[in-house]
Amino acid sequence: MEMREKVNAALKQAMKDKATMRLATLRLINAAIKDRDIAERGNGNDEGVGDTEVLAILGKMVKQRQESARQYEEAGRLDLSERERAEIEIIEDFLPRKLSDDEVTEAISEAITEVGASSIRDMGKVMGALKAQYTGQMDFGAVGPKVKDQLSAANG
């Protein structure tokens, strides 16, 4: 089932269950997808975004909520922080399982071999290969330094 269809099916189920928090979060997800669809239409893509792009949108939504929750906690607003964390759980229902550190290291090694990377200049190719295969399964902000370390070790 396509990501968009999964979200819509969950939205309908949340309506039936009268799960207001889940319903509100699913509507936010749908709105974010539709916003991206509209932006893509401006670029000449009438079909809308695919699953990879939807996963990227969901990942971005999770990061935004993690940051908001952290800020709310620092401000002593635990009620708002809990709401953000509840939204994160709902969004993560649609994301694939996160890879462990060992799995990330293995994926980086495979990507380096796959693209034939031999130096730091090939980092973009490696990151592109990882994003194509593991969108939503790893934090690419944290993966970048690991890729750099492995490429440096290969040259060292």
Closest alpha carbon to 90 in 56, 126, 61: 61
pLDDT attached to residue 78: 94
Domains in the chain, start-ordered, CATH in brackets?
3-92 (1.10.1510.10), 101-155 (1.10.10.410)
CB distance 117 to 77 below 8 Å:
no
How many other CB atoms sit within 10 Å of the CB of residue 41?
12
pTM of the model: 0.73
3-state secondary structure 112-156: HHHHCCCCHHHHHHHHHHHHHHHCCCCCHHHHHHHHHHHHHHHHC
Least confident of 50-59, 71-80, 81-90: 50-59
pLDDT in tens, 84-137: 999 999 999 998 888 888 898 899 888 888 888 888 888 888 898 888 888 778
Closest alpha carbon to 107 in 132, 75, 87: 132
Whether residue 1 has pLDDT greater than 60: no
